[in-house]
Structure 1
Amino acid sequence: MSSTALAAFLRARRARVRPEDVGLPVGVGLRRTPGLRREELAALAGVSVDYYIRLEQGKERNPSSAVLGALANALQLDDDARAHLFALADHAARRRPVRRPAARTVPAGLRLLLENLRPCPSLVLGRTGDVLAANPEGYALYQGLTDWPPEQRNTVRYIFRHPLARTLFADWQTTAAGAVADLRTVLATDPEAPDVAALVEELSAASPEFASLWARHDVRRKVGTQKAFHHPAVGTVTTTWEVLRTSDDGIRITVFQAEPGTPDHDALSLLALAEATR
């Protein structure tokens, strides 16, 4: 239920705020509650303890914008997490319509774009990271991804379950945390998303690291950044990773590129040549 998603988010984020982070005395002895107590957070947000308890129990479904803003401040949420909190509250109050199923059809125009982006490795991803299409260089960059049948090709699954992923990504920990935080953003549009639930169940059972990251309730929308790879065909290559969103249905294009004339650009060109030769 939508109210359950809101309650779970509040509980998880409250547990991550220490008393000293918000100017409260730590006190003596061991605290049985990780992070803030419910009465402490309620006081910081200016709401009654009973009201806040009802929010965490999923019984209160219509918090006002003022209450949500106060809770976001008390929980020290960043912009992405604050927007996520408001979106979950909208769903709990049924202020948002049920979204349509996840899009999986790749328009012809996007397939043509993948071809025109060559030799830059590029992929079309669904909202949970399903690889809906890719150019040859995109498949080549994600070494071993095509070992799996098309319906199993998913970048989050790849990060946590493919045996080559931990050596391919130069900073696997950051890559993994970012992928999980981005996956959580889907719940802002559809808290009961069945595709998210199925993937989370699978990866939680297969990877304790995924389960731990998912329990943190981090929320971060993927944006362009640098990403380095240790690729067996071309060595270490640092790319600029851009995320292009085509609509509100969750489909996005990821493009990996490098500045012309640099060794990284040469490495991407070599990757394309190696793929063409193969």
Structure 2
Amino acid sequence: MLAGISIDYYSRLEQGRERRPSPQVIEAIARVLQLDQEATEHLHELARARPHRRTAAGPADRVEPSLVRLIDGWDHVPAYVVNSRLDVLVRNLVAEGLYEGLEHSDNLLRLALLNPVARGFYLDWEMDTSSKVAHLRAMAGLDTDDPDMLELLDELSESEDFRRMWALHEVRGRTRAPVRFHRDDIGDVITTMEVLTVDGSPGQKLIVFQAEPGSPSEAALIALSDRMRKRSRGGARPSGRPEHDEDPDPGHPGPTDIEEAAAKLRHRVRPR
């Protein structure tokens, strides 16, 4: 007996022949396996999961216009909305600048695992990536018939790191954590990431990165945001050689831009 559950019944559960275990059975299994609260909740979700009816419109990928307006109003706070597969559905202007030029940036796991540059972009690459893999494992277990999810898993399986992290069977994604980025044009950017569930949009998460007020990281994001806004007002993004030598790359902040943003911050927080 396993915590009041017969070995035969547990075997049927493992083999998928018993598909509707009671909440009491799930709790008993969680106790025996010494699962923490998050893993126990995930086990309950797996037990309740049913095949999803799909529509051609793909409602899970539609972001409410009010949410788009909200994140667009955050000038120097990178933010974006993802679906259960970590596809980036929308991002604001400063997030666009932060991830600019990175191949596979339309999906956070493709970026982390299939783009070698990601190891320099995410200063804590191992921790950040393993958390994303844990999130994907949790989501994949809730809908085993999603062809897009299966295609993504097949593609990511080309990565040895993905196979290693997937084999850990972790299902705990982070909801708040420090995240450190690096770009050659703005240096290190140290932020706190918040992951928020979007009510009414199953599978969607709002991910926000906030720098410490008055910090060099905030100054770098302000400078990046200013440059992105200027370029956005100018219409299409520039390509090819710049027209003006005095501003070699109007889409990226240089040291002077960051110093000016830092000076503004020092003035703003100067004690009376």
Give the TM interval when normalised to the shorter protein: 0.7 to 0.9
Structure 1 vs Structure 2 CA RMSD = 2.2
Task: Map 1:31-42; keep pairs closer than 5 Å.
Answer: none
**Which residue of 74, 84, 87 maps to 2:42?**
84
Q: Against the structure 1 CA distance between its residues 219 and 102, is the aligned structure 2 distance closer, same or farther, given a 3 Å change threshold?
A: farther
SS of residue in 2 equivalent to 1:192: coil
Task: Measure, in 2, the Cα distance between the counterparts of 1:61 and 1:112.
Answer: 43
SS of residue in 2 equivalent to 1:179: helix
Is 1:233 equivalent to 2:185 in the alignment? Answer: yes
Question: How much does 1:259 deviate?
Answer: 2.3
Task: Measure, in 2, the Cα distance between the counterparts of 1:211 and 1:258.
Answer: 32
Identity among equivalent positions (%) equals 40
Task: Verify the 8 A CA contact 1:229 1:236 in the aligned structure 2.
Answer: yes
**Which residue of 46, 54, 65 maps to 2:4?**
46
For residue 244 of structure 2, what is the aligned residue in structure 1?
none
Which protein is bigger by CA-based radius of gyration?
2
Task: Verify the 8 A CA contact 1:228 1:238 in the aligned structure 2.
Answer: yes
SS of residue in 1 equivalent to 2:60: coil
Q: Against the structure 1 CA distance between its residues 128 and 178, is the aligned structure 2 distance closer, same or farther, given a 3 Å change threshold?
A: same
For residue 79 of structure 2, what is the aligned residue in structure 1?
122
Is 1:184 equivalent to 2:142 in the alignment? Answer: no
Task: Measure, in 1, the Cα distance between the counterparts of 2:64 and 2:24.
Answer: 42
Task: Measure, in 2, the Cα distance between the counterparts of 1:144 and 1:80.
Answer: 36
Question: How much does 1:233 deviate?
Answer: 1.6
Letter in 2 for 1:182: H
For residue 52 of structure 2, what is the aligned residue in structure 1?
98
Letter in 2 for 1:70: A
Question: How much does 1:117 deviate?
Answer: 0.9
Letter in 2 for 1:75: L
TM normalised by structure 1 equals: 0.74
SS of residue in 2 equivalent to 1:61: coil
**Which residue of 100, 109, 113 maps to 1:156?**
109
Question: How much does 1:97 deviate?
Answer: 6.6
Query: Which stretches in structure 2 are left out of the alignment for 5+ residues?
Result: 231-249, 252-272
Letter in 2 for 1:118: D
**Which residue of 110, 113, 120 maps to 2:67?**
110
For residue 213 of structure 1, what is the aligned residue in structure 2?
165
For residue 251 of structure 1, what is the aligned residue in structure 2?
204
Task: Measure, in 1, the Cα distance between the counterparts of 2:51 and 2:153.
Answer: 24
TM normalised by structure 2 equals: 0.75
Query: Which stretches in structure 1 are left out of the alignment for 5+ residues?
Result: 1-41
Question: How much does 1:190 deviate?
Answer: 2.4
SS of residue in 2 equivalent to 1:243: strand
Is 1:202 equivalent to 2:155 in the alignment? Answer: yes
Task: Verify the 8 A CA contact 2:51 2:145 in the aligned structure 1.
Answer: no
**Which residue of 20, 28, 47 maps to 1:70?**
28
Task: Verify the 8 A CA contact 1:167 1:230 in the aligned structure 2.
Answer: yes
Task: Measure, in 2, the Cα distance between the counterparts of 1:136 and 1:198.
Answer: 29
Letter in 1 for 2:218: H
Letter in 2 for 1:268: L
Task: Measure, in 1, the Cα distance between the counterparts of 2:64 and 2:17.
Answer: 43
Task: Measure, in 2, the Cα distance between the counterparts of 1:155 and 1:88.
Answer: 24
Letter in 1 for 2:171: V
SS of residue in 2 equivalent to 1:219: coil
Task: Map 1:15-30; keep pairs closer than 5 Å.
Answer: none
